[in-house]
Amino acid sequence: MSQERQEQAPPSAAEQDAALPGGSPGPGVSAPAPQSPQPLQDPQTVPPPPPTPSGAAPLTSADPSGTINLVDGLAGPGSAPPPGAPEARPASGPLEATSPGTPGPEAPASEASVAPVSEAPVSKAPAEVASVPPAGTAGTAGTPEPPGIAPQAGGEDGIAPAGPAPAPVAPAPTPVAPGPAPVAGGELEEITLPSSIQPPAPLDSGTVVGPEGRLRIVRHVAAHGRINRYEATWEDEAGQAVDVELREGPADHPALQREAEILSGVRYSMLPRSYATLEHEGRRYLALERPAEGTLEEALHGGLGIDQAISVVLQLAQALRRLHQAGWALVGLAPSDVRLGQPIRLAQLGSAVRIGEAPPQAMQVAGYSAPELAHAALVTGKEEVYTLGAILYRALAGQALSEAGAEQGALPFAAPVPGVPQLLSRALAPAEERVDLETFYQQLLALKQRLAQVALALEVASGTSVGLNPTRTVNEDSCGYVSWSVGDAEGLTQRTLLCVADGMGGMEAGEVASRTALRTVLSVATLPAPPAAGENGGAPLHQEPPLDLVALVKKAATAVHGAALGRQMGTTVTCVEVQGGEVRLAHVGDTRAYLLSGGVLTQLTADHSLVAAMVASGVLSKEEARGHPDSNKVLRSLGSQRELPDGYVDTLEAAYGQPTLQLQPGDWLLLCSDGIWGSVPDERIAQVLTGAPDCPGAARLLVELALQAGAPDNAAAVVARSVRAPAW
């Protein structure tokens, strides 16, 4: 029930004298006609007052005169106006101070309409009622009624006269509500509103609460609406004092009741832990774990990066999904209600509403609430999606949404991250077009995963030399690489194929053998593109399966055997495919592949050579193997057989222990012939890759170091470095 109240300025001294029993009217003042006394009624039985007269606006902010101060339903003390100051009059729009029709101390009092209180009806039971002369008597003869204020029959504020109604008097008197008795100087007493819209009086430090005495007040922190917040301690079952946040309000406070109901039925790490809920001496108490310092509001003010913002909103969506499972929607969520930590926590649940029900009143958190909440419509759960979108918008744009909401054209500039404007558009859409919470969560999770993926690209270079051996006039080493990108609506992936082949110098046409193997391996990049998604059942381009490198090497062996034309030819080969940062390998012979990651150099292949077998059997040490005269004798090669048997070609698992490995930004790959690794120690190779400015510089330096060591054999190297690619 809404309620209105009218105030009238105190009568002048002459009027007071005339109104007092036994008093005499002052000079030039006629005494009022006798009236029957009007007894007060019980506040609970007072009928509702008449509606606000047409043209009168409710009081929504501080009265300029300072006599009444009502903001957000809370009463604040005001100061009385100085004598002769203009008084507030009802007006459309903001409250304005206007001058009465007749200036001076005997001018008629104007009336101010007080805004309805949303919490509960206000009972009015003043201790005394001062008789006020009707209009047209002392000091007001001939003064017209203020416009827009109509006479009301039956008394003011529902207080009916005890006897017969007085005869009409022209002009008709304006009934005046019983109000505070006038005090000296013509000032009004300060209005103190009842506890229905005020918090209970704060408890002193050290106060023990509850029949069991397990709650003890440490200090009063703040009051918000009708709720007091305290720092307190709770005595647990072991008799230990636990620091808690204590909330206190009237016993019938709906928000505290809702919070207690939710926390008793929903246990989740992102919701506060409830220690106790109880009623004591007409007050309701809720003891919760003390929240962590730092709110989302403070973090937003300081600025959040895209990764942090998405992570926070994703956690909020998880918490709200859990509430949805219990049938609740937290429609009044604001950043100040979120405490940051691991994980984040919702600090208050008082604004929760059952899904499918209407909120008890229209509510709006500026910049965050869905527009439909202003009309108290049935809650669907989509309201929270708007709030989450608004929080993400503020984190990325640096400012809250305007009252008009988000403009589609402004989203790309507010959040210039691919995928984010599209998500915000769906979250901030009108209610009928907005996605639901589960859809928003899944789309946000997919966006986070895409942005979290380290998109990698390879920088590649190669180098080779015939070496310094006078007997080797032809470079029988071959090396190369090919890199291409594939992409579609689902993403973009780079694929790179690296290869090194070392022709066997003791046979005829070793350069033909190595070149044939290299070209066969790299020719896979010139094959027709795979079908697009949806055509002939093809997968999306970025999801195309990796190359079958073992089959590719077997194909190269057949090609080398066919190119021999009766001649004895052979070659080693090592090839590596990198797709989306994932490495696969195929290998035959004593060419090598290395990985440098985190400053550590790891050999990814095992040599198929006589010396390597002798080292493995313990006949030779690694130091003795270096420079051994039989180091050029290999046990496996391509060319001698048309078809290679199963198990002849090694994969990454043979030496590394797993079929694939994942590159990280800054990792290096090196494929090289024995002309490099036989002349440059592994320690020096690691130094070169670690200190190289780029891949061409690293490849060039490795070849130069082999030459400086005498280069008794041909030298070839392919160097690749993993770098972070833009996430478009």
Residue 435 sits in a domain of what CATH number? 1.10.510.10
The residue from 195, 224, 259 where one domain ends is: 195
The DSSP H or E segment spanning 495 is strand 491-503
**Which range is least confidently modeled, 185-199, 235-249, 416-430?**
185-199
Residue 66 banded pLDDT, cuts 50, 70, 90? very low
Strands (E), 16-124: 69-71, 74-76, 88-89, 96-97
Nearest one of 238, 714, 193 to 504, comparing CA atoms: 714
pLDDT at 491: 66
Average pLDDT over residues 37-43: 43
pLDDT digits (tens, 9 = 90+) for 302-356: 888 889 999 999 999 999 999 999 999 999 999 999 999 888 999 989 899 999 9
Q: For position 551, which CATH number holds?
A: 3.60.40.10
Computed on alpha carbons and rounded to an integer, the radius of gyration of the chain in Å comes to: 44
pLDDT at 228: 94
Q: Tell whether 501 and 411 lie within a shared domain.
A: no
Q: Tell whether 514 and 629 lie within a shared domain.
A: yes
Residue 413 banded pLDDT, cuts 50, 70, 90? confident
Residue 482 lies in a domain: yes
Contact 324, 381 (CB under 8 A): yes
**Which range is least confidently modeled, 129-143, 225-239, 269-283, 370-384?**
129-143
Q: Which of 414-423, 598-607, 615-624 has the highest mean pLDDT?
A: 598-607
Average pLDDT over residues 720-728: 82
Average pLDDT over residues 540-566: 86
Q: Which residues contact 447 (CB under 8 A, 6 or more apart)?
A: 310, 419, 420, 423
Residues composing the chain: 728
pLDDT at 308: 92
Give CA–CA dist 672/679, Å, rounded.
11
Q: Tell whether 570 and 446 lie within a shared domain.
A: no
Q: Tell whether 85 and 152 lie within a shared domain.
A: yes
The pTM of the full predicted model, rounded to 2 decimals, is: 0.57
Q: For position 279, which CATH number holds?
A: 3.30.200.20
Q: Is 726 exposed, middle or buried (0-12, 13-18, 19+ CB in 10 A)?
A: exposed
Percent of the chain with pLDDT over 90: 51
Number of domains in the chain: 4
Nearest one of 358, 324, 357, 311 to 438, comparing CA atoms: 324
Average pLDDT over residues 350-367: 90
Q: Tell whether 483 and 353 lie within a shared domain.
A: no
Q: Is the per-residue pLDDT at 485 higher than 70? A: yes
Q: Is the per-residue pLDDT at 132 higher than 50? A: no
Domain of 148?
Answer: 1-195
Q: Is the per-residue pLDDT at 468 higher than 60? A: yes
Give CA–CA dist 240/230, Å, rounded.
19
The residue from 452, 470, 486 where one domain ends is: 452
Residue 202 lies in a domain: no
Q: Is the per-residue pLDDT at 293 higher than 60? A: yes
CA torsion 98→104→106→109, rounded to 10°? 10
Give CA–CA dist 97/264, Å, rounded.
51
Q: Tell whether 185 and 49 lie within a shared domain.
A: yes
Q: Pick 227 or 160 by higher pLDDT.
A: 227
Average pLDDT over residues 521-531: 71
For residue 300, report the phi and psi dihedrals to the nearest 5 degrees: -65, -35
Q: Tell whether 229 and 149 lie within a shared domain.
A: no
Q: Pick 65 or 506 by higher pLDDT.
A: 506
Q: Is the per-residue pLDDT at 587 higher than 70? A: yes
pLDDT at 628: 86
Q: Is the per-residue pLDDT at 93 higher than 60? A: no
Q: Which residues contact 479 (CB under 8 A, 6 or more apart)?
A: 462, 463, 464, 499, 500, 501, 518, 671, 673, 716, 717, 718
Residue 533 lies in a domain: no
Average pLDDT over all residues of the chain: 77
The residue from 195, 229, 245 where one domain ends is: 195
Q: Tell whether 448 and 472 lie within a shared domain.
A: no
Average pLDDT over residues 261-285: 91
Q: Tell whether 412 and 460 lie within a shared domain.
A: no
pLDDT digits (tens, 9 = 90+) for 654-705: 999 999 999 999 999 999 999 999 999 999 999 999 999 999 999 999 999 9
Residue 251 lies in a domain: yes
Q: Tell whether 558 and 644 lie within a shared domain.
A: yes
Residue 409 banded pLDDT, cuts 50, 70, 90? confident
At residue 382, the 3 state secondary structure works out as helix
Q: Which residues contact 39 (CB under 8 A, 6 or more apart)?
A: 162
Residue 66 lies in a domain: yes
Give CA–CA dist 359/482, Å, rounded.
63
pLDDT at 357: 94
Q: Which of 84-93, 122-131, 628-637 has the highest mean pLDDT?
A: 628-637
Q: Is the per-residue pLDDT at 125 higher than 80? A: no
Q: Tell whether 156 and 216 lie within a shared domain.
A: no
